[in-house]
Chains A and B, each alone.
Chain A
Amino acid sequence: MCVKHTSIPNKKYSGGDEVLRFLLNRLGQSAILLLIVTIITFFLINLAPGGPASTMRMDASPEERQAMVEKLGLDQPIHIRYIDWITNALKGDLGVSFTSSEPVVQRIAERLPYTIELTVFTIILSITIGILFGVISAIKRGKAQDHVINFFSVLGLSVPAFWLGLMLILLFSINLGWLPSSGVGARGADFNFWGWISHLIMPVLILTTTVLPNIVRFTRSSMLEVISQNYIRTARAKGAKESIVLYVHALRNALIPVVTIIGVLIPRLLSGAVITEAIFGWTGIGTLILEAARGRDYPLVMGVTVVITVVVVLCNLIVDLIYSRIDPRVKNV
């Protein structure tokens, strides 16, 4: 689906006061959002048939299962458990993972950097290529290049990411043997550059296809809008060469709204990361939530949910702030 001109703040923040008010307002909303998200998730997972005791071996005895339930405090009523959880969470304690007995924060901290790595590379790649193709598409509007780019954009939106991933594995790992099919590569002492990059290539490509088309289309429409505006015509009238007009004037202004799309795409990127990580055994936060949900690791599910929501809220906030800083229209009002 095409992301339209979403979440562009139409309020006008001129002074520092307004920015502060906007910030506080946003933070307040985010806190409520976070609270609701935790309540829904908490009750949802606790409604699940089969608690942590059902994740034990099949031949675990009823006594063994009961021992597990009592040990984890799951015999308490659910609202008491939620209150306990939220009280601790507010103190910064997300509890201890049921499956590994390690602090949830630690387990997330181990995995989050990998997801960030994957998404940052994807953002860089998709923004560079996306803007390039978007601009070409706009300049060559209606010409062959535009059609080709448009076709591939729609195709990118239409291919199931995991299918494409499997096809890439089939080609590059199985048939050609060029790229590793899975994993994040050696880290720490054994780190080597090619090992790292070769593990990154396919996951980044797949994740890129999930967002690139949006950026291309967004840039294109933004660019078209700018091209049709008065000052471009003025610049042309002044006799500047057309290409310079386009690149200097139009592109700069067209890119401003593109900043906002990063904010819009971050939730999508993280969602896409779940699939991408699952295909390529990329041990990020996406594989962690899958493990946690399957293993009925309630504290871990809650922890990942909270962390992801916070990350997204923060990213959006940053993007909005950047936007309020760089949009001349906003500034000059």
Chain B
Amino acid sequence: MEVSTNQDYGSKTMTKVKQRKDTLLARLKQNKIAYFSLWFLIILHLIVFLGPFFWTINPEELQEVGSLAGWSLQHPFGTDDLSRDVFARMLHGGRVTLLVGLAAMLFALLIGTLVGACAGYFGKFVESVLMRITEAMMAIPNFFFVLVALTVLGTSPVMVVVVIALCGWMEIARVVYGETLKWKEYEFVEAANASGARSIRILTKYIIPQIIPSIIVSGTLTIAAAILTESAISYLGLGIQPPTPTWGNMLQNSQQYIWTAPVLGILPGAAITIVVLAYNFLGDGLRDALDPKYVKK
């Protein structure tokens, strides 16, 4: 079934937005891997966020069976180097990791949307300053600053989220900027403009709602990147610190057991890879589904 909404939706009323969302899901369904990723992520988030209510072992508590114990009914993934339940740590660590990803994404979206929309909407001086900053931020290898910032400012979860977000908003800003440029030319925005509505109102009421699908795409891809960044800074020992488990610091800690208990590293590493993979597939799928040039295969 060919779904085509690629023409002149701007000239119509805003009910179009809802329609686009519906078709988005319909199109996504046709991309099997993206659709599967979506369900996979939903289920995984349910497990990770609700799991600890059922699997009540404290992830920080030392278990009787001793360290590096193998599989058992009590401890399905065994115990780690300090004799803690690996399954509980995977659940709680997943919670923290996914929350960090989500929070960093939201924060990055906030900055990116703000910068992109303002630059696109106001144009002129604001545009050139904001977009120059965006380009500059993209042009510098920001990981160097991440390292310096986290080394000197400490590694509280909030710092980690802020720093990851500060490194990840630029792509979003560019997308939002491009979209804003496009949408502000449409009649309904110009009409609102002519009626004397304030800029902020126009931006929030008329333009940003139109951009939401693109923002969702960027957001999905940003979560993927944020989770990867979290694990990378954990690897360098600059991420969220124990005893709070995250997949990143579990992976980092497992490094020293690569010889004696490689499974400690394989679990969080595989978990990170799969989640990021799913987010990337979903993001790609969403983008394709939004693409006006979309053709059914």
A–B touch (CB < 8 A): the answer is yes
A309 within 8 A of B: yes
Contact of B265 among A7, A45, A166, A289 (CB under 8 A): A166
- Which A32-49 residues have C-beta < 8 A from chain B? 33, 36-37, 40-41, 44-45, 47-49
> Known contacts being A159-B273, A160-B232, A270-B141, is A154 close to B151, with CB within 8 Å?
no
CB atoms of B251 and A163 under 8 A apart: yes
Asked whether any CB of chain A lies closer than 8 Å to the CB of B194, the reply is no
- Partner pick for B151 among A29, A155, A293, A308, CB 8 A cutoff: A293
On chain B, the residues within 8 Å of A45 by CB distance are 148, 152
B187 in contact (CB, < 8 A): no
Known: A160-B269, A163-B273, A170-B258. A271 touches B143 (CB 8 A): yes
**Contact (A313, B144) CB under 8 Å given A154-B277, A154-B284, A293-B151:** no
Report the bound CA distance from A200 to B91 in whole Å: 38
Please report the C-alpha to C-alpha distance between residue A328 and residue B105 in the assembled complex, in whole angstroms. 39
A87 within 8 A of B: no
User: With an 8 A cutoff between CB atoms, is A316 at the interface?
Assistant: yes
Q: How far is the CB of B286 from chain A (nearest CB, A)?
A: 12
How far is A41 from B149 in the complex, measured between Cα atoms in Å? 8
Considering only CB atoms, which chain A residue lies closest to B262 in the complex?
A170
B224 and A41 form a contact (CB under 8 A): no
Residue B153 CB within 8 A of the other chain: yes
Q: Which of A169, A170, A269, A316 contacts B139 (CB 8 A)?
A: A316
Q: For residue A7, which residues in chain B have a CB less than 8 angstroms away from its CB?
A: 135, 138
Per-residue CB contact flags for chain A residues 153-194 toward chain B (1 = under 8 Å, else 0) read 011011111110011011000100000000000000000000
A289 touches B273 (CB 8 A): no
B interface residues, tally (CB under 8 Å): 47
Enumerate chain A residues within 8 angstroms of B224, measured Cβ to Cβ.
Answer: 1, 157-158
A278-B236 in contact given A1-B221, A1-B222, A1-B225 (Cβ < 8 Å): yes
Instruction: Tell me, in angstroms, the Cα distance from A37 to B277 when the chains sit together.
Output: 33
Least distance between A196 CB and chain B CB atoms (Å):
26
Q: In whole angstroms, what is the CA distance A275 to B281 when docked? A: 25
- Known contacts being A155-B277, A267-B142, A290-B147, is A2 close to B284, with CB within 8 Å? yes
The binding surface of chain B is classed by DSSP as: helix
Chain A nearest CB: distance from B240 CB in Å? 15
Residue of B139, B235, B283, B284 ringed by the most chain A CB atoms within 10 A: B139
Residues of A near B171 (CB, < 8 A) are 1, 4
Chain B residues 100-156 with CB under 8 Å of chain A are: 132, 135-136, 138-145, 147-149, 151-154
Closest to B235 in A: A162
Docked pose: A269 CA to B38 CA in angstroms: 30
Q: Would A312 and B139 count as touching, CB distance under 8 A?
A: yes
Interface of A is mostly: helix
If the complex has contacts A44-B152, A45-B152, A170-B262, are A309 and B272 also in contact, measured as CB distance less than 8 A? no
Chain B residue contacts of A151, Cβ below 8 A = 33
| Nearest neighbor of B266 in chain A, beta-carbon distance | A167
Give A198 to B222 CA distance when docked, in angstroms. Answer: 35
What's the nearest-Cβ distance from chain B to residue A262, in Å? Answer: 13
Inside 8 A of B297's CB, which chain A residues have their CB? Answer: 142
Q: Is B140 within 8 A of A48, CB to CB?
A: no
Q: Mark B268-280, 1 if CB is under 8 A from A, else 0.
A: 0100110011001
Contact status of A267 and B151, CB under 8 A, knowing A2-B284, A163-B265: no
Known: A162-B235, A163-B265. A48 touches B152 (CB 8 A): yes
Cβ-neighbour of A174 out of B139, B147, B259 (below 8 A): B259
Chain A interfacial residues counted at CB < 8 A? 55
Whether the Cβ atoms of B228 and A158 lie closer than 8 Å is yes
Complex contact B148–A162 (CB within 8 A): no
Check B235–A312 contact: CB distance below 8 A: no
Q: Nearest-CB distance from B24 to chain A (Å)?
A: 18
Assuming the contacts A1-B221, A41-B148, A44-B153, asked whether A160 and B231 have C-beta atoms less than 8 A apart, the reply is yes
Bound CA span A166–B152, Å:
27
Residues in A with CB closer than 8 Å to B262 are 170
Write the A268-297 contact mask toward B (1 if CB under 8 angstroms, else 0). Answer: 111110110010000000000110011000
A28 to B281, CA, bound (A): 40
With known contacts A44-B153, A154-B284, A268–B141 Cβ distance under 8 A: yes
Q: How far is the CA of A162 from the CA of B258 in the complex (A)?
A: 13
User: What is the CB-to-nearest-CB distance from B265 to chain A, in angstroms, rounded to a whole number?
Assistant: 7
- Which residues of chain A come closer than 8 Å to B255, judged between CB atoms? 166
The answer on a CB contact under 8 Å between A275 and B236 is: yes
In the complex, what distance in Å separates the CA atom of A293 from the CA atom of B136?
23
Task: Indicate if the CB atoms of B144 and A2 lie closer than 8 Å.
Answer: no
Q: How far is the CA of A170 from the CA of B260 in the complex (A)?
A: 11
- Chain A residues within 8 Å of B143, by CB: 270-272, 274-275
A-contact 0/1 string along B167-208, CB 8 Å cutoff: 000010011000000000000000000000000000000000
Q: Can you list 9 A-B pairs, Cβ within 8 angstroms, ordered by A?
A: A41-B145, A49-B154, A160-B231, A167-B269, A264-B138, A301-B148, A304-B144, A309-B140, A312-B139
Instruction: Supply 9 further A-B pairs (C-beta < 8 A) apart from A1-B280, A166-B269, A289-B147.
Output: A1-B225, A6-B138, A7-B135, A162-B232, A163-B269, A169-B258, A269-B141, A275-B235, A308-B141
Q: Which 8 A-B pairs have the closest CB atoms?
A: A48-B152, A271-B143, A270-B141, A158-B276, A163-B269, A158-B277, A293-B151, A267-B141
